[in-house]
Chains A and B, each alone.
Chain A
Amino acid sequence: MSATPASVRAEPVERPEFERTPLDARKIGQIERPLSVVERMWNVQVVRNFAVLLMFVVLWEAYTQIANVKPLLFPSFSDTCIALYKAFADQKLMAKIWFTLQSLLIGYAVGLVAAAVLVSLASIWRVWADILMTATAMFNPLPSIALLPLAMLWFGLGTASLVFILIHAVLWAVALNTFVGFQGVSHTQRMVGQNYGLRGVMFAVKILIPAALATVLSGMKIGWAFAWRTLIGAELIFGATSRGGGLGWHIFENAEQLRTSQVFAGLLMIILIGVIVEYVIFRNIELRTVRRWGMQR
């Protein structure tokens, strides 16, 4: 900064004017360059995700080979794969997965429907909004597993108990997210819906749900994860019902026999199903909806 006395006011310097003719764009050369194949591949999210998965597998295998850990404590990836193959062949793993998925899907579906009903009521009447918010604050922190002993007392040792605690796991997370999403729908979009004659249920279906879909989906994902954890946890405690056991039971049973590679196989299966649901189902829904609409990047 040059020392300017406060009494002297700065004036802009007067400069000559000029005009120019811009060069023809063709003379400048390549303005748009197509990205290389590698660059484009790396832009595909599935490719990147797969690379990350592969990295984990390599780290796992390398760790077990280099550190020479006991297979009883930490089986290698290849051992786990062999165990997984054997589980499908000899231990009826498919039936166990199906058993778990059945309860999971029933509980998840009923939980979603219950959440939809509760949120609809809450968006129509304020009393229900208060009920929903208070109930969510009360029950959301309550672990479903803590309700399992009670559920067994009330509903017996069958699927009913599992479904009950699954509903509890799903309902509050989904309801809370959906309700918060609805509240965040812009006033303008609400007025647009009303302007074209939408009221009540049609208003919720055609305006609120699509406008809040990003939060609704994230609530559904959280609900799904809660349901999984709850169910596997319940099976570990609860063991098999009269109709058979699930994935949690597979882990429990094999841990008792110190078949660690089978325990890993069970865990790997849970992870695989989780990854498939996330990347195949939820990701595709998001790609076709919120991302396509520019509501989520």
Chain B
Amino acid sequence: MPQTTNGAAPAGAAPAVAPILEVEGVTLQYKTKEHLITATYRVDFKVYPADRFVLLGPSGCGKSTLLKGVAGFMRPVEGEMRLKGRRIEEPGPDRVMVFQEFDQLLPWKTVRQNITFALRNGGRCSRESDADEIAMNYIRKVKLNGFENTYPHMLSGGMKQRVAIARGMAMEPDILLMDEPFASLDALTRRQMQEELLQLWDDTRFTVLFVTHSIEEALLVGNRILVLSPHPGQVKAELNTHMHSHANAGSPEFIALQTRIHNMLFADRVLEE
């Protein structure tokens, strides 16, 4: 296993393609009522086109904070984040976020309007008719045709997340940011959604940065995993997982990698106890 120290280049030649997202030495802090909390400390990683890049770690490792940083909702106190070489300063439609919460859909807009709202305000469509056409196309992609004129409160949790994903994809952002999008779903729906996400990815080969605390989900969804340690979040490893999918879930290799990551994340805790 190649050991790399902080700041040094990872072993192996750099890929010929330019990365879409570069995160360099990023420290993020946020304030609660009483404390200034350092969520991540000098985190580096690079996301390349068509990556399904997973940020994995236990709660408190700052993975969601990191995603909010990339989305532009937080500024790093140290380090830099660049999207296609441009420094990230504020939220923008070139990085669309899919949240865990179901209320990310605007309740006063129908399924289709939620998507056209994004397309129109995000500057992707100037004409409503164009936006409508794109919206319907993506509604079909997430298999929600027939529900385009339904208001979100009539939809199930899984359907709401599908709309949110369709909205994100319809924007065709440089990178899709997903913050534990399936964590509020029941196990059966979650599995179905993971498979559907992979099918969609296979269709359009978008780039996605995916946050999860489930090792299994990371292996199933991602092609590369950044493992973060908790309090504050620091990079522990970057692993390749493109060879794993639902098809080989439960195989010895799959379980071996799962165990390896599990030990990586929880080894310290055992020692502490």
Contact = CB atoms under 8 A, between A and B. Distances in A.
A289 B93 CA distance: 27
Contact of B103 (A189, A198, A207, A289): A189
A195 B96 contact: yes
Contacts of A292: 151
Interface of A: 186, 188-189, 191-192, 194-198, 202, 206-207, 210-211, 213, 289, 292-295
Q: Which residue, B106, B117, B122, has most C-beta atoms of chain A within 10 A?
A: B106
B108 A293 contact: yes
B106 A188 contact: no
Contacts of B106: 189, 192, 207, 210-211
Interface in B131-169: 151-154
A207 to B, nearest CB: 8
A23 to B, nearest CB: 25
B151 A195 contact: no
Q: Which residue, A189, A211, A213, has most C-beta atoms of chain B within 10 A?
A: A189
B121 A294 contact: no
A198 B152 contact: no
A198 B121 contact: yes
A197 B125 CA distance: 13
A196 B92 CA distance: 6
Contacts of B95: 195
B101 interface: yes
Interface in B95-111: 95-97, 99, 101, 103-104, 106-108
26 contacts: A186-B103, A191-B71, A191-B91, A191-B99, A192-B99, A192-B106, A194-B90, A194-B91, A195-B71, A195-B96, A195-B97, A196-B93, A196-B96, A196-B171, A197-B92, A197-B93, A197-B123, A202-B121, A206-B117, A211-B106, A289-B108, A294-B107, A294-B151, A294-B154, A295-B107, A295-B153
Interface in B69-86: 71, 73
Contacts, number: 66
Contacts of B99: 188, 191-192
Contacts of B107: 211, 293-295
Q: How big is the B interface, by class?
A: 20 to 34
B118 interface: yes
A189 B104 contact: yes
A194 B73 contact: yes
Contacts of A293: 107-108, 151, 153
Nearest to B118: A196
Contact of A195 (B91, B123, B154): B91
B151 A196 contact: no
Contacts of B97: 191-192, 195
A186 B101 contact: yes
- Return the 9 tightest CB-CB contacts between A and B, nearest first: A294-B153, A194-B91, A210-B108, A196-B122, A293-B107, A188-B101, A196-B121, A293-B108, A196-B118
Given A191-B91, A196-B93, 6 more contacts: A192-B104, A196-B122, A198-B121, A202-B121, A293-B108, A294-B151
Q: Which residue, B101, B108, B121, has most C-beta atoms of chain A within 10 A?
A: B108
Q: Which residue, A186, A197, A292, has most C-beta atoms of chain B within 10 A?
A: A197
Contacts of A210: 106, 108
A183 to B, nearest CB: 16
A129 B96 CA distance: 31
A195 B71 CA distance: 8
Contacts of B154: 294
Contacts of B118: 196
A202 B104 CA distance: 18
A197 B108 contact: no
Contacts of A202: 121
A181 to B, nearest CB: 14
Contacts of A206: 117, 121
A188 B151 contact: no
Contacts of B91: 191, 194-195, 197
A192 B154 CA distance: 20
A153 B229 CA distance: 71
A294 B108 CA distance: 8
